[in-house]
């Protein structure tokens, strides 16, 4: 789990005592009733404010939700969920005279028109280039919002609904009948598109045609120097870019002149690509894919190395400077083909070789050749499943582990593996069934109790989780993890004495695990025992100075009125997570409370640079600028805040509007 996720989970843990008391969306099973209200956006029961956005024709569309007809708005990214959209198209064809349907997307106008025309989608499309609808109305993508004829929101949640129940819902909606029936959850069933045949290692290439950033043809000649291709689907993963771009740039600078380097991007968004490259100081020549990328790799980002004779030599899964430099050096050595396997066993051995090298695509091919010769080759199913799992192809991995289980039904390791990919596929019943089967075969399998308990805890079933953790403890009384997780379960139920007792046992069994200390600290913090909470976080920091411990300790110091120590801990938190807006925002709040508005302005400004579309941060910055007598800058910040504040923040919206209208006397108090 990355740092950002840990931070968010811990903060939520403190603020939301009842977080485990409702069933989260991710735990829905096929056929479950989807809650009418999602976690974000305008609440069901409210009247939807009018929406003015341009249609594909570039004419503004004024959506008056009180126009007399129910309105259904599907919000999604262009090109995604096309199978689901085809289902909605059929419903639209049936009900378009009775209900207003719209698709809202933030994509490029020409791309949107081309994509939906190609897929015969005739539902009216509205372009939301500033993601106004997401921010103001429903807060997530993909999603669906439904209003009745009077403009009252009756549904604001997922698009993943079963179509028969959806049409029954519309029938009731059209006739104004209440209560409206629940719509059933239908998991995403997008088909895996047919992909081109993957080129095998050893394939001889001559050239490849791409496009440069100005959309001109660009030919890469493989019969010169070795060529390294870095394939990206797009640049949408900041963490991956931050980690891998510096490595790519370093290798390019060290090897240019003897090796050709190219970054190949599938998404043709010139300005965005140029900006991203500049932000990461990347000077590697960049080209646009012309549809050939899937012949080289099925996963992104990916690396492909072609030697000077045009032979496809390497396709490593992971990027690190040392191993990649080694591969580049090896590409300068003449190619020596592997001998052709003679039987299933030799194909399996070849698969093992590629699996060890993390070349999962070649491993899958070798294991598939093995199984074509011997459909009962048990280890080939297991290993191919492992390769698929590494490639994030969960359905393929699931099928292979199932085949392995059929061949050896008493081998528990395959149940663990299948349960893991079932979780990735949101097949939670199957995951629980696999853990239960392991327990049935071996009641002393501690890990199965732990994993099943973890699911129950995440799913808000703390009592069932406690039962599993308790059994795990009976099987192995020295299993510190079981005590920690049972402590977390008690904590979620506000049973603090029992939670602290379990954390105490866990810390005795495994003193270096800081979760015992932070868990105890949260229990003390919730009970108002700030000094004891501080002691716990300090102990955790002494073992391992994690950002979350500093942040949590800052809360305890703040409650004690020790603002200097609060600022010190927030400073450490920021030092460890400089790209996280939370620390700057909270430190800005503390500076404001200390009437240090100039310092508050600095922190809110940095937070805005990290999250420029966060209405809460913009509003705080505007207020501090106002307090600091910087009215012009405050006015600009209030305008940004008004653009991005959610509608339910009525007082903040009113204050921002009053300032924009020239009223600087109303609402003198600070608002969060």
> Is it the case that residue 558 has pLDDT exceeding 50?
yes
pLDDT digits 0-9 by tens, 423-438: 999 899 999 999 999 9
> Is it the case that residue 415 has pLDDT exceeding 90?
yes
pLDDT at 275: 85
Any idea which of 302-311, 371-380, 505-514, 544-553 has the lowest mean pLDDT? Answer: 302-311
pLDDT digits 0-9 by tens, 272-299: 888 888 888 899 999 998 888 878 887 7
pLDDT at 600: 96
- 55 falls in which pLDDT band (50, 70, 90)? low
- 55 in Cβ contact with 127 (< 8 Å): yes
Tokens of 588: 């800005």
Residues with Cβ < 8 Å from 315, sequence gap 6 or more? 201, 296, 297, 302, 303, 304, 305, 359, 361, 362
CA 36 – CA 467 distance, rounded (Å): 32
- 633 in Cβ contact with 641 (< 8 Å): no
344-425: CATH topology:
1.25.40
pLDDT at 91: 93
For residue 52, the SS3 value is strand
pLDDT digits 0-9 by tens, 231-259: 887 776 777 788 888 988 999 999 988 89
pLDDT at 59: 64
pLDDT at 14: 40
Nearest residue to 248 via CA among 307, 329, 302: 302
More confident residue, 41 or 546: 546
- 289 in Cβ contact with 210 (< 8 Å): yes
pLDDT digits 0-9 by tens, 571-606: 999 999 988 999 999 999 999 999 999 999 999 999
Nearest residue to 502 via CA among 529, 520, 527: 520
- 61 falls in which pLDDT band (50, 70, 90)? low
Task: Identify the residue whose tokens are 């735990």.
Answer: 27
Report the predicted TM-score, pTM, of the whole model to 2 decimal places: 0.65
pLDDT at 471: 97
- 515 in Cβ contact with 487 (< 8 Å): no
pLDDT at 60: 63
Q: What is the mean pLDDT of the chain?
A: 87
Mean pLDDT, rounded, for 306-329: 82
- 52 falls in which pLDDT band (50, 70, 90)? confident
pLDDT at 161: 92
pLDDT digits 0-9 by tens, 352-385: 999 998 888 889 999 999 999 999 999 999 999 9
Query: What's the Rg (C-alpha) of the chain?
Result: 28
> Is it the case that residue 644 has pLDDT exceeding 60?
yes
pLDDT digits 0-9 by tens, 187-224: 765 444 454 577 888 889 999 999 998 889 999 999 88
The full set of domain ranges for the chain reads: 31-174, 207-330, 344-425, 584-672
Superfamily grouping for domain 584-672 = Tetratricopeptide repeat domain (1.25.40.10)
Tokens of 648: 């339910």
207-330 and 584-672 share one fold = no
Mean pLDDT, rounded, for 77-104: 88
- 543 falls in which pLDDT band (50, 70, 90)? very high
> Is it the case that residue 301 has pLDDT exceeding 90?
no
Q: Where are the alpha helices (DSSP H) in 309-343?
A: 321-330
pLDDT digits 0-9 by tens, 502-512: 999 999 999 99
State the CB neighbour count (10 A cutoff) for residue 242. 12
- 145 falls in which pLDDT band (50, 70, 90)? very high
Task: Determine the distance from the C-alpha atom of residue 133 to the mean position of all C-alpha atoms in its chain, rounded to a whole number.
Answer: 20
Mean pLDDT, rounded, for 536-563: 95
> Is it the case that residue 10 has pLDDT exceeding 50?
no
- 54 falls in which pLDDT band (50, 70, 90)? low
Superfamily grouping for domain 31-174 = Glutaredoxin (3.40.30.10)
Superfamily grouping for domain 207-330 = Glutaredoxin (3.40.30.10)
More confident residue, 139 or 616: 616
The secondary structure element, H or E, covering residue 548 is: helix 547-559
Q: Where are the alpha helices (DSSP H) in 425-461?
A: 428-441, 446-458
pLDDT at 199: 83
pLDDT digits 0-9 by tens, 616-632: 999 999 999 999 999 99
> Is it the case that residue 544 has pLDDT exceeding 90?
yes
> Is it the case that residue 22 has pLDDT exceeding 50?
no
Looking at the chain, the whole-number percentage of residues with pLDDT higher than 70 is 91
pLDDT at 502: 97
> Is it the case that residue 392 has pLDDT exceeding 90?
no
- 325 falls in which pLDDT band (50, 70, 90)? confident
CA 489 – CA 269 distance, rounded (Å): 47
């Amino acid at each position: 789990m990355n740092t950002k996720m840990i931070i968010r989970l811990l903060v939520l843990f403190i603020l939301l005592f009842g977080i485990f008391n409702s069933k989260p969306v991710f735990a829905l099973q096929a056929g479950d009733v989807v809650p009418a209200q999602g976690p974000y956006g305008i609440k069901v029961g409210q009247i939807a404010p009018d929406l003015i956005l341009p249609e594909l024709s570039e004419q503004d569309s004024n959506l008056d939700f009180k126009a007399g007809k129910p309105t259904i708005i599907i919000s999604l990214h262009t090109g995604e969920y096309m199978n689901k959209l085809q289902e909605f198209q059929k419903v639209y064809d049936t009900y378009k005279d009775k209900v207003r349907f719209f698709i809202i997307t933030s994509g490029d106008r020409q791309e949107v028109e081309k994509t939906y025309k190609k897929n015969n989608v005739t539902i009216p499309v509205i372009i939301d280039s500033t993601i106004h609808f997401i921010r103001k109305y429903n807060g997530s993508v993909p999603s669906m919002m439904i209003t009745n004829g009077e403009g009252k929101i009756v549904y604001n949640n997922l698009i993943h609904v079963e179509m028969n129940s959806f049409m029954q819902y519309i029938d009731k909606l059209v006739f104004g009948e209440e209560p409206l029936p629940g719509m059933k959850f239908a998991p995403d069933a997008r088909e895996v598109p047919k992909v081109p045949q993957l080129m095998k290692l050893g394939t001889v290439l001559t050239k490849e045609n791409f496009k440069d950033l100005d959309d001109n043809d660009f030919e890469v000649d493989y019969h010169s120097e070795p060529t390294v291709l870095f394939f990206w689907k797009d640049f949408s993963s900041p963490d991956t870019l931050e980690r891998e771009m510096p490595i790519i740039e370093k290798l390019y600078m060290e090897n240019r002149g003897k090796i050709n380097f190219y970054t190949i991007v599938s998404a043709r968004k010139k300005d965005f690509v140029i900006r991203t490259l500049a932000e990461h100081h990347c000077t590697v020549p960049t080209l646009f894919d012309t549809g050939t990328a899937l012949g080289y790799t099925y996963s992104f980002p990916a690396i492909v190395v072609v030697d000077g004779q045009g032979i496809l030599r390497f396709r490593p899964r992971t990027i690190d400077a040392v191993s990649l430099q080694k591969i580049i050096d090896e590409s300068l050595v003449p190619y020596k083909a592997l001998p052709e396997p003679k039987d299933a066993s030799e194909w399996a051995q070849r698969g093992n070789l590629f699996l060890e090298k993390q070349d999962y695509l070649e491993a899958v091919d070798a294991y598939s050749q093995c199984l074509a010769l011997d459909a009962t080759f048990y280890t080939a199913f297991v290993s191919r499943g492992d390769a698929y799992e590494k490639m994030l192809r969960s359905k393929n991995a699931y099928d292979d582990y199932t085949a392995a289980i059929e061949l050896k039904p008493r081998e528990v390791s395959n149940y663990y593996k299948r349960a893991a990919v079932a979780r990735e596929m949101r097949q939670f019943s199957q995951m629980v069934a696999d853990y239960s089967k392991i327990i049935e075969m071996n009641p002393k399998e501690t890990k199965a109790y732990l994993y099943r308990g973890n699911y129950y805890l995440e799913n808000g079933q703390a009592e069932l989780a406690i039962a599993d953790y308790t059994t795990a403890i009976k099987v192995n009384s020295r299993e510190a993890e079981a005590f920690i997780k049972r402590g977390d379960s008690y904590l979620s139920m506000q049973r603090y004495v029992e939670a602290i007792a379990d954390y105490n046992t866990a810390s005795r069994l495994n003193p270096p695990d800081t979760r015992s200390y932070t868990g105890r600290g949260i229990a003390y913090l919730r009970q108002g025992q700030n000094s004891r909470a501080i002691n716990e976080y300090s102990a955790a920091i002494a073992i391992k100075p994690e950002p979350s411990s500093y942040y949590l300790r800052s809360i305890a110091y703040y409650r004690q009125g020790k603002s200097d120590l609060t600022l010190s801990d927030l400073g450490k938190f920021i030092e460890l997570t400089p790209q996280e807006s939370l620390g700057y925002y909270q430190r800005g709040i503390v500076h404001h409370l200390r009437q240090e508005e100039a310092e508050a302005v600095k922190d809110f400004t940095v937070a805005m640079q990290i999250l420029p579309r966060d209405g809460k941060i913009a509003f705080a910055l505007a207020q501090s600028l106002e307090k600091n007598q910087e009215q012009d800058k405050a006015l600009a910040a209030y305008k940004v805040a008004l653009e991005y504040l959610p509608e339910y923040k009525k007082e903040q919206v009113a204050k921002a509007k009053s300032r924009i209208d020239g009223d600087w006397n109303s609402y003198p108090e600070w608002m969060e």
